[in-house]
Structure 1
Amino acid sequence: MSKEVVRNFYKADILGDPTVLKTYFHPEISLIWNSNDGLTIMNYQDLEGFFGEIRNTYDDLRIEVSHLLQDDNFVTIRYKYYVSTLENPEEELGIAHFIAIWEIKDGQMYRGYQVSQPVTELDDTTESYHKVKV
């Protein structure tokens, strides 16, 4: 069941479905995110604001998953986000690579540990990223 929760969240329509957070995120969620900007710790309210900004910024959001693994109530996912902006909806851009480990509690994503890295020009020259069907 844990793997399905994570799979379904990453397949969900984050831009078009305002119930995504309530459906998949535990009310006491904590996301610890290491990125180029440093360490960010987000709770439910922080994630509401974050997803609101995404909805206001992007015309389309697509995910490409390479790994989805489960160990008990922990699920690890590796993926890449692609976006189209409101200003240029015809052009899709890869924006970042992510790996996240999610702890599932009460059928929802409860604790997340995520690392991200921006896409670089080297991404266009490598075929090493393998897609898996989620």
Structure 2
Amino acid sequence: MQLKEKQLVEDFYKSKFHKDTSIIEKYLDKDAVIYWNSSSGFFKLNYHDFAVMAEEMGKAFEGLSCEITHLLQEDNMVTVRFTYHVNTIEDPDEEGALAHFICIWEVKNNKLHEGHLISQPGDDSEENIASFLPKR
């Protein structure tokens, strides 16, 4: 089994698509649909909706980085667990966890086609940060 789908997902989240939304077209299928269960409710996003949201993220944060803790693949389905860390414009020297996510992506024709996303507000507690480490 090839792991190109897994690499595609990792590269997408490590990219700076929020600062340059033209990068999105390299990764996201034009017919993409994202089903997002967030702490604010349910959202269904298409390609355009996602690009608009990414552009707003780029404006809202001085810096945004993605910490991937899990990346699993089965056939053309890739699951990723990650945390977005941000630096706000008001406090560019302080980085904090924005939100924690798990997304299951269907990859079709070498693009992210359908995503099922769950998120919750970020927290920098040691238990949460260390939750992906092996138990001793």
Q: Output the TM-score relative to the length of structure 2.
A: 0.89
Q: Deviations along 1:89-126, whole A, 9 cap, x unmatched?
A: 11101011100000001101000000001124xx4232
Q: Deviations along 1:12-62, whole A, 9 cap, x unmatched?
A: 122333322111000000000001111100001101110110011011011
Query: Where in structure 2 are there 5+ consecutive unaligned residues?
Result: none
Structure 1 contact 15–60 (Cα < 8 Å) conserved: no
* Letter of the 2:125 counterpart: D
* Letter of the 2:126 counterpart: T
Report whether the alignment pairs 1:129 with 2:126: no
Report whether the alignment pairs 1:110 with 2:123: no
1:92-103 matches, within 5 Å, as 92-103=95-106
Cα distance in 1 for residues equivalent to 2:19 and 2:34? 22
Query: Where in structure 1 are there 5+ consecutive unaligned residues?
Result: none
Q: CA deviation at 1:128?
A: 2.5
RMSD: 1.4
Q: CA deviation at 1:10?
A: 1.0
Number of residues paired by the alignment?
Answer: 129
Cα distance in 2 for residues equivalent to 1:96 and 1:16? 18
Q: CA deviation at 1:11?
A: 1.2
Cα distance in 1 for residues equivalent to 2:126 and 2:31? 41
Q: CA deviation at 1:70?
A: 0.3
Structure 1 contact 66–129 (Cα < 8 Å) conserved: no
1:1-134 matches, within 5 Å, as 1-120=4-123, 123-126=124-127, 128-130=130-132
Q: Which has the higher contact order (CA 8 A, sep 6+)?
A: 1
Cα distance in 2 for residues equivalent to 1:58 and 1:118? 16
Percent of matched pairs sharing the same residue: 36
Structure 2 contact 19–55 (Cα < 8 Å) conserved: no
